[in-house]
């Protein structure tokens, strides 16, 4: 990773250098070429001077000429190269004084001075030369070179500093990378990425990664525990089935009637299948892909249906089932919510003795609805309450009653889907199960 990124930087830097070089070369080449605009100016000047000389004579011309105007000078020579007029001593008439435009480079001390000159034929046979020192123009080159040097040095500086910065960034990233790779290789989720606790950039990243690791670790241990439980809880009925089959085999060998044991076995198999489908159902709900089936549900209507369903069962045990609720619409999956509430109410009826009392209540506030299902049954010891939602967990004294320990796990999954939560408290005697479902921001959940 490190090598690649440096190569990358070198490439970028090289490209910059080459670009600047191209700019530089072309600009020098261009300034060596005759500048047509300046040549035109030289021509105009020489034409004007010629006209003044012809019409008004050399003295008039002398008055008109501004010394060094645009670094231009004027010289008049006769055809034999004798100087009749000159306002400069810096320039000597060269050998080539044919009519037209000329360029010339002359050494001046250490420097090289560039000239261009225009030779005009005057009417009296003399020659008028307008000469311009265009080292001025050459000095453009030095400005160019200066700019190029500035650019080059700033690029170099930027490159260098980004390289240094990159070096430290890469070092940090490599450290994180190394630990991630180590975790993946060893599967050891106890490792954490070191951070200084400054809470800035990389520290924040490290902290978040660490939090993620902790979360994964928790989930992993949950999964492990669940699969342990599953293995245990499924092995028991499977073993029982196997034993019954063995018994059946010997009964059949003896020629006895096996109708009843077969029926029992079928029931046993059904129970196992139910456990599996309950587990699958929980997983399915937990994967949270069911938001599509959310609709507006009148919670009061739902609770009334629930009461109506369980009323005969409660009546059989001479229990009093009461409901305090009022109409309120929430976005929910009505089937799942019904299932969840049925599971809780089912427990209440099951674990409440004859002549007991079960009350359902609905409280509504601005942000949530709260459904309380309280009974005066056998209750759950405070120490066990936190374990109720665990898969396959069953309170010791309930083990002889029908059930698979998945009911409340399903309730929790359904409530999680609705962003709600389930809590347990003692209603001394008995248990109160409180379901809270937020009604605010529900649209967000659905979208």
Cα–Cα nearest to 282, from 406, 444, 140, 141? 406
Question: Is 400 a binder of another protein (CB under 8 A)?
Answer: no
Q: Which of 249, 308, 324, 382 binds another protein (CB under 8 A)?
A: 308
Question: Is 342 a binder of another protein (CB under 8 A)?
Answer: yes
Question: Is 329 a binder of another protein (CB under 8 A)?
Answer: no
CB of 259 to another protein, least distance (A): 11
Stretch that binds another protein, among 229-237, 238-246, 304-312, 323-331 (CB under 8 A): 304-312
For residues 345 to 364, the per-residue mask of contacts with another protein, x marking binding by CB under 8 A and - elsewhere, is -xx-xx--------------
Nearer to another protein by Cβ, of 78 and 270: the residue is 270
- Phi and psi (nearest 5°) for 112? -110, 130
CB of 334 to another protein, least distance (A): 7
Q: Which of 27, 31, 87, 339 binds another protein (CB under 8 A)?
A: 339
Instruction: Report the C-alpha gap between 374 and 360 in whole angstroms.
Output: 7
Nearer to another protein by Cβ, of 6 and 265: the residue is 265
Question: Is 327 a binder of another protein (CB under 8 A)?
Answer: no
Q: What's the full length of the chain, in residues?
A: 447
Stretch that binds another protein, among 215-223, 337-345, 366-374, 432-440 (CB under 8 A): 337-345
Instruction: Report the C-alpha gap between 43 and 117 in whole angstroms.
Output: 9
Question: Is 266 a binder of another protein (CB under 8 A)?
Answer: yes
Nearer to another protein by Cβ, of 241 and 313: the residue is 313
CB of 204 to another protein, least distance (A): 40
CB of 213 to another protein, least distance (A): 33
Report how far Cα 152 is from the mean position of its chain's Cα atoms. 35
Question: Is 237 a binder of another protein (CB under 8 A)?
Answer: no
Q: Hey, which residues between 404 and 433 contact another protein (CB under 8 A)?
A: 407
Question: Is 305 a binder of another protein (CB under 8 A)?
Answer: yes
Stretch that binds another protein, among 58-66, 160-168, 303-311, 319-327 (CB under 8 A): 303-311
Nearer to another protein by Cβ, of 149 and 273: the residue is 273
Q: Which of 117, 294, 338, 424 binds another protein (CB under 8 A)?
A: 338
Q: Which of 26, 136, 217, 293 binds another protein (CB under 8 A)?
A: 293
Question: Is 166 a binder of another protein (CB under 8 A)?
Answer: no
Burial label for 360, CB within 10 Å (0-12, 13-18, 19+), is buried
CB of 219 to another protein, least distance (A): 23
Stretch that binds another protein, among 43-51, 332-340, 387-395, 415-423 (CB under 8 A): 332-340
Q: Which of 284, 326, 355, 367 binds another protein (CB under 8 A)?
A: 284
Question: Is 374 a binder of another protein (CB under 8 A)?
Answer: no
Question: Is 263 a binder of another protein (CB under 8 A)?
Answer: yes
CB of 290 to another protein, least distance (A): 7
| Cis upstream peptide for 429 (omega within 30°) | yes
b/e code 426-444 from CB counts within 10 Å (16+ = b): ebeebbbbbbbbebeebee
Query: Which residues sit at the interface with another protein, rule CB under 8 A?
Result: 263, 266, 270, 273-274, 277-278, 280-281, 284, 290, 292-293, 305, 308-310, 312-313, 316, 334-336, 338-339, 342-343, 346-347, 349-350, 402-403, 407
């Amino acid at each position: 990773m490190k090598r690649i990124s440096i190569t990358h930087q070198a490439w970028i830097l090289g490209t910059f250098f080459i670009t600047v070089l191209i700019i530089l070369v072309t600009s020098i080449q261009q300034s060596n070429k005759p500048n047509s605009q300046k040549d035109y100016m030289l021509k105009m000047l020489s034409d004007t001077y010629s006209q003044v000389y012809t019409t008004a004579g050399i003295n008039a011309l002398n008055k008109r000429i501004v010394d060094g105007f645009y670094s231009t000078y004027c010289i008049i020579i006769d055809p034999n190269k004798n100087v009749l007029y000159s306002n400069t001593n810096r320039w000597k008439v060269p050998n080539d004084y044919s009519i037209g435009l000329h360029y010339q480079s002359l050494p001046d001390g250490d420097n090289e001075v560039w000239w261009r000159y225009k030779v005009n034929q005057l009417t009296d046979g003399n020659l008028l030369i307008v000469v311009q020192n265009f080292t001025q123009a050459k000095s453009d080159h030095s400005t160019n070179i200066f700019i190029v040097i500035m650019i080059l040095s700033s690029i170099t500086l930027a490159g260098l500093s980004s390289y240094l910065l990159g070096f430290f960034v890469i070092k940090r990233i490599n450290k994180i990378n190394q630990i991630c790779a180590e975790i993946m290789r060893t599967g050891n989720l106890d490792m954490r990425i070191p951070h200084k606790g400054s809470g800035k950039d990389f520290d924040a990243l490290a902290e978040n990664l660490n939090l993620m690791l902790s979360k994964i670790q928790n989930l992993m241990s949950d999964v492990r525990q669940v699969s342990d439980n599953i293995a245990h809880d499924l092995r028991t009925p499977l073993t029982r089935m196997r034993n019954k089959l063995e018994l059946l085999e010997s009964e059949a060998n003896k020629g006895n009637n096996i109708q009843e044991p077969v029926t029992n076995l079928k029931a046993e198999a059904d129970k196992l299948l139910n456990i599996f489908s309950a587990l699958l159902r929980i997983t399915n709900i937990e994967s949270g892909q069911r938001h599509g089936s959310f609709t507006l549900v009148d919670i009061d209507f739902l609770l009334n249906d629930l009461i109506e369903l369980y009323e005969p069962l409660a009546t059989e045990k001479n229990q009093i089932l009461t409901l305090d609720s009022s109409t309120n619409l929430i976005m929910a999956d009505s089937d799942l919510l019904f299932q969840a509430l049925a599971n809780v109410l089912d427990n209440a009826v099951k674990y409440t003795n004859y002549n007991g009392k079960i009350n359902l209540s609905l409280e509504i506030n601005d942000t949530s609805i709260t459904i309380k299902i309280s009974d005066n049954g056998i209750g759950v010891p405070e120490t066990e309450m936190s374990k109720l939602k665990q898969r396959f967990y069953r309170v010791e004294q309930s083990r002889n009653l029908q059930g698979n320990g998945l009911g409340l796990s399903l309730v929790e999954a359904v409530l999680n889907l609705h962003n709600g939560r389930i809590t347990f408290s003692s209603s001394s005697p008995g248990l109160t199960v409180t379901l809270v479902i937020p009604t605010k921001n529900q649209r967000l959940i659905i979208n």
